[in-house]
Structure 1
Amino acid sequence: MWENMNRKEFKLTGSWMSYSSPFPGKEWELTAHYFATGQLKFDPGFIYKKMPMSQAQEAFQMFKTPGLVKGKVLLVNEE
């Protein structure tokens, strides 16, 4: 499998929550920079639903229904 990954083109889709010291770390800062400058693109279908932080409980409840959530649920601050 690893040999095929090195020799053939492949597409990897996903996310990984990671940070380094000091918080938020260079990973987050670079990702935010590339996203803001348009150098980093993502498929809008990657985010299944955006919900306000006040509905966090409802967001977590959705995961109790198998197959309901087809992507990421993004909790956003209400300002």
Structure 2
Amino acid sequence: MSSRGGYSKNDGDWCCPDPKCGNTNFARRDKCNRCGCEKPQMAGKVKLGGFELGKQLAKKVKDYLVLMIGNVKHVGM
């Protein structure tokens, strides 16, 4: 859950494809509620895009990743 506004992305939610907008929309919307851009056909089918994944990882600024034999560990600094 996000601390700002209490929203976390759910299955089917999609990001507006317009690079000037990038708004996250609920799955039920057919158009972006900010700019009116049409929902892409593949919207919501990909769990986390690079942008969304980056936002989630950035929430843990003091953590860093240690990669060992396929394991990812979050270690506080």
- Whether TM exceeds 0.5 here: the answer is no
Structure of greater Rg: 1
Structure with bigger strand share is 2
Q: What TM-score comes out, normalization by structure 2 length?
A: 0.25
Structure with bigger helix share is 1
Q: What TM-score comes out, normalization by structure 1 length?
A: 0.25
Higher relative contact order (CA 8 A, sep 6+): 1
